[in-house]
Amino acid sequence: MSVSIEVNGTRHDIDGDPSMPLLYALRDQIGLRGAKFGCGLGQCGACTVIVDGRAVFSCLTPISALEGRAVTTTEGLLEDGKPGKVHQAFIDEQAAQCGYCIAGMVMRVQHLLERNADPTDEEILTGMQANLCRCGTHAAIIRAVQRAART
């Protein structure tokens, strides 16, 4: 089966089993390695990307669900090949330790700020709840969200 999916503004024809997760298509066929495989159960958020304006777990999103829909990954947030606003906030706050969760975190922040440009601390905590960091850098991540909102 072939599915036509728009990823970061470019159309890709994905060949594969229709139940294949978007995450595998991104990483193995399109070559975008930002989104990571974490739990495969929608519990950790490492695979988070944005589909039609909403943050989703790409490990639980089969490609057959995506015909004609628009996907944005962390690579899509680059500005002229340089880190985008949310990326830069994470760099400035040194919010990554091992970094495995960060691509997913960034997409969750992007989703949050698109819906609420000036979130309160409480709204940041609620909005980021779906994404976990096993290194425990949540405090720095929250500062990065606040910084990105100010920028």
In the complex, least distance from residue 38 CB atom to another protein, rounded to whole angstroms: 12
Q: Quick one: which of 63, 101, 105, 144 contacts another protein (CB under 8 A)?
A: 63
By CB under 8 A, residue 2 contacts another protein? no
- Helices 85-92, 138-150: axis angle to 10 degrees equals 130
Residue 76 binds another protein, judged by CB under 8 A: no
Does residue number 129 form part of the binding site for another protein (CB under 8 A)?
yes
Which of 67, 54, 58 is closest to 26 using CA atoms?
Answer: 58
Q: Does residue 115 touch another protein according to CB under 8 A?
A: yes
- For another protein, the closer of residues 15 and 52 by Cβ is 52
Per-residue tokens: 77: 């947030």
- How would you label 67-103 residue by residue, b for 16+ Cβ within 10 Å and e otherwise? eeebbbbbbbbeeeeeebebbbbbeebebbeeebbbb
Residues of this chain that bind another protein (CB under 8 A): 17-21, 39-43, 51-52, 54-57, 60-65, 69, 112, 115-116, 119, 122-123, 126-127, 129-130
